[in-house]
Structure 1
Amino acid sequence: MSENGPRPLEYERVAGELRRMIVEGDLRPGDRLPPEGELTARMRVSRGTLREALRVLSAQKMLTSVRGVNGGTFIAEPSPDDVADYLQTALTLLSRSRVTVGQLLEMRSQLEVPAADLAARRRSDDDLRRLEATLTGPEADRGRDHGEFHILLLRAAGNPVLDMTARPVFAVLRDRFGREQNDPQFWDRVGADHVEILQHVRDRNSRAASRAMRGHLAVLREVYTRIDVNRLGER
């Protein structure tokens, strides 16, 4: 073991080197990786080590394989959903030890309040129809539909970076605080808040939409914090 911790395994070193080449632009989306023989010689590793490194990068959606005469291993271009999924997994793990509920709620406010402002400015008629549908579903689906409202509002903001950054934060909190942890009055309040936010978005009143979202998230913060404190007390 070195002074800075355990040395990486060979396949981790190779994966790190290829990742660096991708991130720095030496290898670009759509580029085909050199043949196995060339890569193993260049990196001085066995085929087994190289294949393990490629499996790691494929799992991270950085590589994709194509079969056939013109096939091979290519540099992939991650989709917004790929990025959101990766962030959600990382945040889920961090929320169990290093990231607090308060920090997640604070981050959510920093992202979703501006999203409400942008949605009011940029929303389409289709966005409105989808948002309205979440407010008229069966009572049994309301918890799910309330969550869908926030996701659709993020998308109506028209910024995929905002969407893929905020959605994982919301998803981690949603999984931690399920519908069964709150009484019907809470969900009635949530639904009423969503109706108000949607009205401002429909009217293209960006200032009122962001103000209503800020108030809505303040209520959620109070409730979620209380639930978390009670849960810790039970432990």
Structure 2
Amino acid sequence: MSAPSGPRPLEYERVAGELRQMIVDGELQPGDRLPSEGELTARMRISRGTLREALRVLSAQKLLTSSRGVNGGTFVAEPSPDDVVEHLETSLTLLSRSRVTSAHLLEMRSQLEVPAAELAARRRSEEDLHQLEQSVAGMNEAGDPSVAHLNSHFHLLLLRAAGNPVLEMMATPVFTVLRERFHRVEPGEEFWLRVAAEHAEIVAHVRDRNSRGARRAMRSHLSGLRDTYTRIDVSKLDNLRAG
């Protein structure tokens, strides 16, 4: 006797899943207009209320968009990079409260940013280099809380310099969740001075197009961040136990 597989999805969830799969499989392409409500309800043997609820679900997931007028209707949307980031950010935020730890997020950063630094050294433009140098200079001059924002911005600039937009889409939600997790903790001036110096070292390698040096400097930088975040996590846990 097989074990129960959990509650069956509601009818509108089933319909939303079928339509979502059609989009993923390419049966429905971005820009395609969905068949009329009457045609879909007849084809899928569902009520209009069920179909409308399914379409609302897919619209909330940025997979469908609607417009009014003579040429209006419901169309398959093409998610923007911001849509992807928003979805990943929401999911990671929720998971970070239970199953995803800071260690997991920091490990993911290394997987993304170490090779990104190498790529940035190979592919960066003069404008990329200018913005990275400005970021380093800004960190040396800024006070809290601006320095924390400049720190995150530096890492995003480096990812953009790598020339692969997927890297930025994958890393931005990780940055955001980590920032929210530690935004109430002040590491101190000494920490930020060290971070600025390490950023400057990375930029020097990027400037020289030294891909191995950039990779090595980024790995060392993230290792130091991991140690700091781990100490903060342990300290927060001890404070909670003491309280």
Query: Identity over aligned residues, as a percent?
Result: 70
Kept in 2, the 8 Å contact 1:116–1:153? The answer is yes
Q: 1:157, CA displacement in angstroms?
A: 0.5
Secondary structure of residue in 1 paired with 2:8? coil
Residue 71 of structure 2 is matched in structure 1 by 70
Q: Please show how residues 215-234 of structure 1 align to structure 2 within 5 Å.
A: 215-234=220-239
Deviations 1:42-89 (A, max 9, x none): 122222221111111111111111222111111111122211211111
State which of 139, 146, 156 in structure 2 corresponds to 1:151. Answer: 156
Deviations 1:9-59 (A, max 9, x none): 111111101001111111111111001111111122222221111111111
2:22 counterpart letter in structure 1: M
Runs of 4 or more consecutive aligned structure 1 residues displaced over 6 Å after TM superposition = none
Matched, 1:139 2:143: yes
CA distance in 2, matches of 1:10, 1:108: 39
* CA displacement at 1:132 relative to structure 2: 2.1
The total of aligned residue pairs comes to 234
Pick which of 16-25 and 73-82 moved more: 73-82
Partner residue, 2:61: 60
Q: CA deviation at 1:218?
A: 0.4
Matched, 1:196 2:201: yes
Q: Displacement, 1:6?
A: 1.1
Does 2:95 match 1:101? no
Please give the root-mean-square deviation of Cα atoms over the aligned residues, in Å: 1.4
How do 1:31-50 and structure 2 match up within 5 A?
Answer: 31-50=32-51
Give the counterpart letter for 1:175 in structure 2: E
Question: Aligned pair 1:176/2:181, yes or no?
Answer: yes
Q: Does the 8 A contact of 1:143 with 1:179 survive in 2?
A: no
Kindly state the Cα deviation for residue 135 of structure 1 after the two structures are TM-superposed: 2.2
The CA distance in 1 between the partners of 2:218 and 2:193, in whole Å, is: 16
Q: Displacement, 1:179?
A: 6.7
The CA distance in 1 between the partners of 2:86 and 2:148, in whole Å, is 21
Moved more, 25-34 or 131-140: 131-140
Q: Which runs of 5+ in 2 are unaligned?
A: none
Deviates more, 1:98-107 or 1:114-123: 98-107
Task: Give the deviation of 1:133 after TM superposition.
Answer: 2.4
Q: TM-score, normalised by structure 1?
A: 0.95
